[in-house]
Structure 1
Amino acid sequence: MNDTGKDTATEAPNPFMPSPDDMQHWASVMGRAQQLMLEYALGQANQGNSAAAGLFDPARWLQNPTTQAWAEQSSKMWEQGAAFWTSLATLQSPFAPAADAPAANAPRDKRFADPDWTQNPVFALIHQSYGLLADQLLTTTRQMTGLDDHARAKMEFAAKGMAEALSPSNLAITNPEVIRRAVETRGESLLKGLKHMLTDLSRGQLSHVDPDAFEVGVNIATTPGKVIHETDLYQLIQYAPTTKDVLAVPLLIFPPWINRFYILDLNPAKSFVAWAVEQGLTVFMVSWKSADASMSEIVWDDYIAAQVDAIDMVREGLNVPTVHTIGYCVAGTTLAATLAMLAARGEAAKVQSVTFFTAQVDFELAGDLKMFVDDSYLNLLQQLSAPGFLDGRYMAATFNSLRGRDLIWNYVVSNYLLGNDYPPFDLLYWNGDVTNLPAKWHRQYLVDLYRDNRLVIPNSLSAMGTPIDLKKIGTPAYIQAGREDHIAPLASVWRLMDHLSGPKTFLLAGSGHIAGVVNPPAAGKYQYWTGDNSAPTLDDFVAGATETKGSWWPHWIGWISGQDSAKTPTKGSRIPGKGPKKAIEDAPGRYVKQR
């Protein structure tokens, strides 16, 4: 017994009382953290006016008020981490729920999936308070008067982004999972997260995966083929056939120039390219060059001319009169303009069919991206594009902000606070493999299409001197949209049905802008809907649509074969490099590897 009346022989030790070894280890962790930050600062200072200049210059980054707030929070985090052990010696474990803790159902929001967000009174109060404040912020914004629709949408978008940024799950000291991990690893998780954060600051980009986990042409973008033509703007890849006979009409794919083409060739199991080759198609792919200062004068006409050039190269190389085409996202927009121009010139027969993957021509219902086309954003864009091109990291940040909870804060918590290892996910690697954009063309695209919606106004725009009228397009069209697409919203993609004059097939795929397209049959995922292609509205189409489980790719290849089922032996020019267009280099080519 001691003088307090307690039996010291039987009293349970405090499991959170740090041992001398724990204290020493934490001191070591903080010392290594300070060393990492010092090395980072010295490294940035030594770069001077290197490629990290501009808004990625750390000096300018540190002058940003938001960054200063983050720096202050990081400093506080380390101070609070050091004090944490001392507080544990006298306080109840933060992970031991009180006897009268209120019962609650499991939260639906995955940010608060940890049981302590509901079972521990302290964290439950934090969670509930945050929910109330976030709801109040959004409600107040929606109730503001005197705003037009565009201004209100921007305010709501900003309020939502602020609410997501202020989530207690994003802070180490208010996230029970982060605290538990720090305790379990004795601070090593925080140290590892700090390494991740400093590495990302050096790159000027948030990492979703280990950047060294993949190498283009080695374990990603590996479908065999040859580059058989190139210009200053693109390379043309022809893929090696795998069937004895192939369809006579070849397939030419135009991927978006804002991303790398290999979203359609991630790996053999996911590759649309490899699958299309297996179906007996002679497949060609355009690989756009990432912009540099030499491309400062590239505009709308140059991309349309490139599409026409690629169509002619395939026709001449295989000695065929026509080709099937695919336009993905913004490349589909430009492909529509190309088809309208060819129709006006009496050359529509060059294209047998057109498939649109999540593409838009009418931007009235283009969704959240329309918030980035006002004067203030365009002025900022002009400043960022001073070298004549827009660094692709800015565009990546814009797209990530559209799904900030999933594509920003989720990884801040996982990578920086929890110190998790990066997942080896090829799709996320592609998402971070950014492409620079020609400044003049990018601004022209935002102004003429997103802001002013001129493409659907007959003869408002011209291509290579020819006025564009989408109603002149009589090419058979297959229009694919994603039910949950936040980049090219379903209602916006549907508008293609209103503006094209030829036979049209509309298909609604499950999931979004990427997974809705990249859905191989073997995966057995998602579903798709087909219906009345003469339906007057999207609602009418959906009301009468029939659902089919799995990938829509087999439906598409059936449609392609229905356009022209003639076949030809796989020999001569059907083999890359064996025709008049000689091989320049192996696929995937050097353009896709340029940064």
Structure 2
Amino acid sequence: MTTTAPRPSAPRPSAPPRPRPAAASDGGQPSSPEASEAVTGLDMVLVDGARGPLRRMVPPARTVARFGASLARRPETVVRTGGDLVRELGRIAVGRSEVAPSPKDRRFADPAWTGNPFLRRTMQAHIAAAQAAARLVEDADLDWQDDERIRFTLTNVVDALAPSNVPFLNPLALKAVIDTGGRNAVSGLRRMVSDLVSPPRVPSMVEPDAFTVGEDLAVTPGAVVLRTDVFELIQYRPTTETVRAVPLLMVPPTINKYYITDLAPGRSIVEHYVAAGQQVFMISWRNPDERHADWGLDTYGQAVLDAMDAAQRVTGSERVALQAFCSGGIITAMVLAHLAATGRLDRVAAASFAVTVLDWARAGTVSALMDPEAVREATEKSRRKGYLDGAMLAEVFAWLRPNDLVWNYWVNNYLQGKPPAAFDILFWNADTTRMSAALHRDFIEVAVGNALTEPGRATMLGTPVDLSAVDVDAYVTAGIADHLCPWQACYRTTQLLGGESRFVLSTNGHIASLVNPPGNPKSTFQVAPDTPADPEEWLSRATKEKGSWWPDFMAWLGERSGDEVPAPESLGSAELPVLGDAPGTYVLEK
């Protein structure tokens, strides 16, 4: 893969103003779905994954200097904000303050935070100070880049200093001391030491033996029918008498393992598809190491083509449908452009992109929170090592939502001394994989240069990428609370592709919007009859449907998957015999 866009060392043009994160008093969560667009992006994750997330928590000296100089030019602002804080602290001291946490802030949900006068005052003082600091940043009127840097640091510092993180203040910790006779402190210290000795150095979100892949997770019956150096191809066993003639090839992310699509029974996307009469094939990526440092986008693009060939040979179908997830969607989109450029796009019956960003104009924050030197440093670190460490990526993901993924477990694991609850999604998240150095570099170049938005700025397997030439029908999904791939950025995929698109906005965030099985009474999705250029216009036209988007996708795909044919009696073929049972061997590699 090559790009003709500027290298990462070249700064990008200034981005337009974007929605800002919520004040720290709101628990550090975005105040609206739109606000999440300002929080993070895949480009930033990949840069931080090499450099370490804590580097970003300290803003550059020049940003701090500009912030200080701006406040120095506005002494009345500092005096007014300071005075407001002093008066509010006075009201807190005498018990007359109305300051309260957001109803969604779970840190202060215990009744002791409001019922105990000392704890209530401590909580209110923390919130009041956080609000004052946020007002100072607001009044400093910094440019958008410095504003993002200062706000990110402020949010993380304020969250870390919350009284709920302090052992002798948190009522849950105090109750645990009484209930266990202090054994919680010993257990918590043991857990902390265990977590800190190796990356990711954050509190464990799930016990390492909570699940077993192939026994509890990834148990949909199937077989490996192809194994290459890069991937294994799994064919799933049909459970219906007839199946759709056109098979579906699923392309999972290259970050983490494929079984996010095949979690526990009843929560498995693959299981649902097979039960709906769909022939399903799955790519299971190999976990690369330093031997595979030169595996770039072209390597993974060729792997998708190889998997398509195999699915067609096994089923005898002339066409195949594709469904890709997150970073797998970036690769798949570029492969589709390659097929269009080489006159072979007729092999594809339909395409689906789940939580995938192809236009990074406002989806990433690398130009705000990182400088060109940071990008160079990140790619150089992975080049020297041969890969980007999956444990470092897990640490980055945790610090994207510190209240939910760090401090929540700090309280549970260390202060209360309790084991984290067994949750299949978090177990998958902890089952990390590495990313080859070349793929890490290629992803960053594509994202930072926003190379997929202009024809010819990137290439796949020697052909220019022009997404407007990809005129197959597309089904595009996003999560309304996605902190990594904001739904507005995912929506812009519909404007880049040349075919008819159906956009579906699911509930929840990046992963929960995918793992959204039918039967959950709280699940909904939004859909509109067309896809106008403005995502907000789409939202105004959308109607809310109850339930999961999985059946909707199966109905949409069924219209594009040919006739129903008798289900195959066995898996594989004479040319591609079964090599072993699902989930295969690559998914088990550490």
* Structure 2 counterpart of 1:309: 306
Q: 1:125 aligns with which of 95, 98, 121?
A: 121
SS at match of 2:385: coil
The structure showing larger relative contact order (alpha-carbon pairs under 8 Å, at least 6 residues apart) is 2
- CA drift at 1:455: 1.0
Once the two structures are superposed, the pairs formed by residues 85-100 of structure 1 within 5 Å of their partners are none
How large is the Cα RMSD of the aligned pairs? 2.4
Q: Does 1:452 align with 2:464?
A: no
Of 364-373 and 294-303, the range deviating more from structure 2? 364-373
* 2:471 and 2:500 in contact (8 A); partners too: yes
Of 366-375 and 135-144, the range deviating more from structure 2? 366-375
Identify if the C-alpha distance between structure 1 residues 107 and 253 changes in structure 2 by more than 3 Å, giving closer, same or farther. closer
Identity of counterpart residues, as a percentage?
35
Instruction: Give, as a single letter, the amino acid of the residue that structure 1 aligns with 2:432.
Output: V
Identify if the C-alpha distance between structure 1 residues 218 and 569 changes in structure 2 by more than 3 Å, giving closer, same or farther. same
* 2:572 and 2:578 in contact (8 A); partners too: yes
* Structure 2 counterpart of 1:361: 358
Once the two structures are superposed, the pairs formed by residues 282-301 of structure 1 within 5 Å of their partners are 282-301=279-298
Q: Deviations over 1:512-553 (max 9, x none)?
A: 211111111133331011113143321221111111111111
Q: Deviations over 1:475-509 (max 9, x none)?
A: 11011111111111011011112111111111111
Q: Deviations over 1:138-163 (max 9, x none)?
A: 23233335x54233212212211111
* Structure 2 counterpart of 1:143: 139
Instruction: Give, as a single letter, the amino acid of the residue that structure 2 aligns with 1:422.
Output: P
Identify if the C-alpha distance between structure 1 residues 430 and 140 changes in structure 2 by more than 3 Å, giving closer, same or farther. same
Once the two structures are superposed, the pairs formed by residues 357-506 of structure 1 within 5 Å of their partners are 357-367=354-364, 374-382=371-379, 384-385=381-382, 386-449=384-447, 451-506=448-503
SS at match of 1:263: helix
* 1:367 and 1:489 in contact (8 A); partners too: no
SS at match of 1:172: coil
* Structure 1 counterpart of 2:583: 588
* 1:392 and 1:437 in contact (8 A); partners too: yes
Structure 1: gaps (5+ residues) = 1-54, 67-99
Q: 2:233 aligns with which of 233, 236, 250?
A: 236
Identify if the C-alpha distance between structure 1 residues 306 and 380 changes in structure 2 by more than 3 Å, giving closer, same or farther. same
* 2:145 and 2:369 in contact (8 A); partners too: no
Could you tell me how far apart the structure 1 residues matched to 2:446 and 2:359 are?
A: 11
Identify if the C-alpha distance between structure 1 residues 182 and 262 changes in structure 2 by more than 3 Å, giving closer, same or farther. same
SS at match of 2:351: strand
* Structure 2 counterpart of 1:204: 199
Could you tell me how far apart the structure 1 residues matched to 2:465 and 2:148 are?
A: 31
Structure 2: gaps (5+ residues) = 1-47, 59-93
- CA drift at 1:367: 4.5
Q: 1:173 aligns with which of 143, 161, 168?
A: 168
* 2:394 and 2:432 in contact (8 A); partners too: yes
* Structure 2 counterpart of 1:152: 147
* Structure 1 counterpart of 2:523: 526
Of 330-339 and 379-388, the range deviating more from structure 2? 379-388
Normalising by structure 1, we get a TM-score of: 0.80
Q: 2:277 aligns with which of 276, 280, 283?
A: 280
Identify if the C-alpha distance between structure 1 residues 528 and 107 changes in structure 2 by more than 3 Å, giving closer, same or farther. closer
Could you tell me how far apart the structure 1 residues matched to 2:184 and 2:365 are?
A: 36
Could you tell me how far apart the structure 2 residues matched to 1:412 and 1:324 are?
A: 44
Of 578-587 and 245-254, the range deviating more from structure 2? 578-587
* Structure 2 counterpart of 1:187: 182
Identify if the C-alpha distance between structure 1 residues 331 and 545 changes in structure 2 by more than 3 Å, giving closer, same or farther. same
Once the two structures are superposed, the pairs formed by residues 340-355 of structure 1 within 5 Å of their partners are 340-355=337-352
Larger-gyration structure (1/2): 1
* 1:102 and 1:119 in contact (8 A); partners too: no
Could you tell me how far apart the structure 1 residues matched to 2:285 and 2:211 are?
A: 20
- CA drift at 1:374: 3.4
Could you tell me how far apart the structure 2 residues matched to 1:101 and 1:287 are?
A: 59
SS at match of 1:563: coil
Could you tell me how far apart the structure 2 residues matched to 1:330 and 1:195 are?
A: 36
- CA drift at 1:384: 4.5
* 1:366 and 1:489 in contact (8 A); partners too: yes
